[in-house]
Amino acid sequence: MVEPQAAPAVPAHLTSRMTLAVRFCETDLMGIVHHANYLTYFEAGRVDWLHRRGISYDKWVEKGIHLPVVEAKLRYKKAARFDEILVVETTCVDITRVTVRFGYRILRGGDVLCEGETLLACVGQDLAPKRIPPDIDAVFRSPETT
Amino acid sequence: MVEPQAAPAVPAHLTSRMTLAVRFCETDLMGIVHHANYLTYFEAGRVDWLHRRGISYDKWVEKGIHLPVVEAKLRYKKAARFDEILVVETTCVDITRVTVRFGYRILRGGDVLCEGETLLACVGQDLAPKRIPPDIDAVFRSPETT
Amino acid sequence: MVEPQAAPAVPAHLTSRMTLAVRFCETDLMGIVHHANYLTYFEAGRVDWLHRRGISYDKWVEKGIHLPVVEAKLRYKKAARFDEILVVETTCVDITRVTVRFGYRILRGGDVLCEGETLLACVGQDLAPKRIPPDIDAVFRSPETT
Amino acid sequence: MVEPQAAPAVPAHLTSRMTLAVRFCETDLMGIVHHANYLTYFEAGRVDWLHRRGISYDKWVEKGIHLPVVEAKLRYKKAARFDEILVVETTCVDITRVTVRFGYRILRGGDVLCEGETLLACVGQDLAPKRIPPDIDAVFRSPETT
């Protein structure tokens, strides 16, 4: 499991944080957030990470650049419950010519509820692999601009 | 609320039934199926209704014909729980030049858990209204073929 | 379809507004928000409506008071897309001894994308009907406090 | 990533297969199944795996035994699309005193679309760790009975 906070090569400016409230529909009969929803929290964190660098992901989609998730790992530590305010901490931890890796921590106050990572691959509209364009590569290395 | 079984103008051959099992992720903290999931059960019933008439909805999508839901009504009567086997009873209750209306009942044995209807409008890839093509209109008036 | 804005009996202080961003996972292959998600937007609006009156719905759940949706109606007018900022306008339009009705409009700027209503019934932990307690009834008649 | 088929210690009788059809609501604007849904496919496979051994997971829930997912890994290889029939291949790959690990492959014909694993921990109603009871341990080691 990647532990972004321990990776010396990842500068602090590659981490961003957003908050979200747990929705009722995201709970299950155990009374806690269903585990599949954390992948959507990670995704929301990633979209927000880009927003904070001036990028709307749908602009890339319009240009035919997609970044599907090709690998995901999650480690669940504590349960989240309905209406709790969570922080999604998203870090761009690695970038290659064709992939970019993000690490995540879902926090409630000082508690880490879940941590994980996703590997995204750059593909075109036809889902074939594609080199990450230089302007997009630059975004993944940049600090928040807003 | 439409009550398909009481509408004399709807012949029996316009009703089809499929079964599905309630998924764990479809429950909420009340321990019952979250109410939004019934719209996805209706949708699964509609897709199956077409299958039983030899149609795969994605073939229409490929031809640029979409049938988005423009109205929906649901009445929830009894709760469904994890792992229960439900029957989705789907009826094509009305068709016009540009819309088609389906009625639904979600059953568990003899109990009606939920009933409702959706109005679908025919649109093109650009989401602009479109007359329902004759071959598609014919499908909505036909019995099961398989 | 209830049109809250036309109902003279509903005072303005019973309407609240929240914003949300469309999540990627809420879109479907048409490229628009899947219609079932609007019920979860309504639910988020309702939870926020209570928050603005000092109430966390889970406190009622802890006391054994549940308010499941027993009827829902939706009318879809325009499509919402990924990453758009939407306003959920929620109005408490009617209250009886055992039910409460909310009306909703989903707005993008000046456009109404979807409108609808849900009827909630007060039930206990056993899902049996229950009279709405006076303190909860009072909340449904009150203005924002925060 | 666990590759169940290569693990010599896992006897064939610990693998089961179920089929499911991709639902429209499970697709996203890329036109493919949204990656979070694979965790729900894994879950459906796990529930079915138990069914085929005479067990309904909700009976364990009723007895206060829960098996939440504490770790998950997924590797996405090919995209699945609306209405495709998929096979969920589920294998119980390891069991300890307090955890059980399942491996999964999502197949479309001969193609592996996604593979992954989940680690489940046995907990009580209070979410505190609990030793797996002997009768439940035995189920995880048993072949299909139906």
Q: How far does the CA of residue D85 sit from the closest CA of chain B (Å)?
A: 12
With respect to residue B145, please indicate whether it lies within any of the assigned structural domains.
no
Percent of chain A with pLDDT over 90: 86
Q: Which residues of B touch D56 (CB under 8 A)?
A: 83
Here the ipTM equals 0.92
Determine, yes or no, domain membership for C145.
no
pLDDT in tens, A85-137: 999 999 999 999 999 999 999 999 999 999 999 999 999 988 899 999 999 99
What proportion of chain C, given as a percentage, has pLDDT over 70?
Answer: 95
The model's pLDDT over A37-50, given as tens digits with 9 standing for 90+, comes to 999 999 999 999 99
Residue B68 lies in a domain: yes
- The predicted-structure confidence for C30-57, as pLDDT tens digits, reads as follows 899 999 999 999 999 999 999 999 999 9
Q: Is D1 helix (H, G, I), strand (E, B) or coil?
A: coil
Please report the pLDDT score of residue B125 as a whole number. 86
Q: How confident is the model at residue C119 (pLDDT cuts 50, 70, 90)?
A: very high
- Whether C4 shows a pLDDT value over 80: the answer reads no
- At D140, the amino acid letter reads F
User: Hey, is the C-beta of B17 within 8 angstroms of any chain C C-beta?
Assistant: no
Q: Is residue B72 part of a domain?
A: yes
- Can you read off the two tokens belonging to residue C81? 């897309």
- pLDDT(B68) > 80: yes
Tell me how crowded residue C130 is: count the other CB atoms within 10 A of its CB: 18
Give the range of the structural domain holding residue A35, as residue numbers without chain letter: 11-139
Chain A positions in Cβ-Cβ contact with residue D73 (cut-off 8 Å): 71-74
User: Nearest C-alpha of chain A: how many angstroms from B76?
Assistant: 16
Chain-chain contact of C74 with B79 (C-beta, under 8 angstroms): no
Of C61, C66, C43, which Cα lies nearest the Cα of C132? C66
Residue B69 maps to a domain: yes
In the beta sheet, which residues pair with residue C27? C33
The pair of structure tokens assigned to B63 is 């031809």
DSSP helix/strand/coil, B131: coil
CA separation for the pair C131, C101 (Å, rounded): 15
3-state secondary structure of C26: helix
Q: Per the domain annotation, does C29 fall within a domain? A: yes
Place of tokens 């599949």: A36
Q: Which of A45, A132, A146, A37 is nearest to A92 (CA)?
A: A45
Residue D48 lies in a domain: yes
Which residue, A1, A17, C53, D61, is CA-closest to B27? D61
Residue C31, exposed/middle/buried by CB under 10 A (0-12, 13-18, 19+)? middle
**Mutation test of the interface with chain C: which of A83, A88, A127, choosing the one with the most C Cβ atoms within 10 A?**
A83
E runs forming strands in chain D: 15-21, 69-76, 85-95, 99-108, 111-121
pLDDT at A127: 85
In what helix (H) or strand (E) does residue B17 lie, and over which residues does it extend? strand B15-21
Whether residues A29 and B25 touch (CB distance < 8 A) is answered with no
Mean pLDDT of all residues in B118-133: 94
Interchain CB distance below 8 Å, D76 and A61: no
For residue B3, the model assigns a pLDDT of 52
Q: Is residue D96 part of a domain?
A: yes
The span from the CA of B37 to the CA of B27, in Å, is 9
pLDDT tens digits along C55-98: 999 899 889 999 999 999 999 999 999 999 999 999 999 999 99
| Distance set, CA D103 to CA D19, D65, D114 (Å) | 16, 21, 11
Domains identified in chain A, total number: 1
Q: Give the up-direction half-sphere exposure of residue C108: CA atoms within 13 A in the CB hemisphere.
A: 13
Q: Find the residue in B nearest to A80 (Cα).
A: B29
CATH number of the domain residue C124 falls in: 3.10.129.10
